[in-house]
Amino acid sequence: MAKIISTHSFRGGTGKSNTTANLATLIAKAGYRVGVIDTDIQSPGIHVVFQFDQKKAKYSLNDYLWGRCSIRDAAYDITEQCIGNVVPDAERPRLYIIPSSLNSGEIARILREGYDVAKLNDGLQELISALDLDYLLIDTHPGVNEETLLSIAISDVLVLILRPDNQDFQGTAVTVELARRLDIPELLVVVNKVPEGVDENLIIEQVENGYQAEVAVMLPLNNEMSRLGSCGLFTNHYPDHPFTQGLKTLAERIIKSQK
């Protein structure tokens, strides 16, 4: 059965989409069929990290939610451009993206009317079946709303991403409490953008004591990420970087927990 992984942050600017895209790629490279769906419909952006040209996409998640297509129609195979050197027509590895629309009218409609959350849930299950996925990663909207709660509720793993910042610490506590009430099987905390020279043990102690949840990995603040500017996958550009090695550890942890 496929494992559903939601990546979430209470506030924007934590590096959630970059982390999600790179994590998905590393899991796919390990030999799995992976889907990534952008449910941050109000401010979509993970397609940029994958360098996926939305102009070439006939359908998006929005089209599925409005009944214009099946969710399979909104899924695009990005294996070759993200992984490369794969056997043509091989079943594995595979990497798919289901983008949300950048059209301002589509975004405005979502903000004005909302959408059927139950339809999204049905679509996720349909997607797993249609694409024969091993893993489905859901890039959620920051904060807490009905759509986010749905994503968290159906997840096997919730990856919470925060920075070593008191506002992030306090806000994330809300999501942790909700995750506990929803009985999420596995909760992993990722502390991102950790400056050089800080006491990492102190941060780990603060997070784990405050949330009663494990810090799965600490990812360093780095200039290379800023220079890349979301124009591509960091793990491909900097395969030996400590950030990449940290995400590999997280990917291995997620894969191992499924076996």
Tell me the domain boundaries of the chain.
3-257
pLDDT score at 157? 96
User: Residue 165 has which token pair?
Assistant: 């910042």
| C-alpha–C-alpha distance, residues 170 and 26, integer Å | 30
pLDDT score at 148? 84
pLDDT digit string, tens, across residues 76-129: 999 999 998 888 778 999 999 999 999 999 999 988 988 888 899 999 999 999
Spans of the chain, pLDDT less than 50: none
The hierarchical CATH code for the domain 3-257 is: 3.40.50.300
Residue 136 — φ and ψ, nearest 5°? Answer: -125, 120
pLDDT score at 240? 98
Q: Count Cβ neighbours within 10 Å for each residue of 212-237 and write b for 16 or more, e otherwise.
A: ebebbbbbbbbeebeebebebbbbbe
The separation between CA 40 and the C-alpha centre of its own chain, rounded to angstroms, equals 10
pLDDT score at 185? 94
User: Residue 235 has which token pair?
Assistant: 């793990």
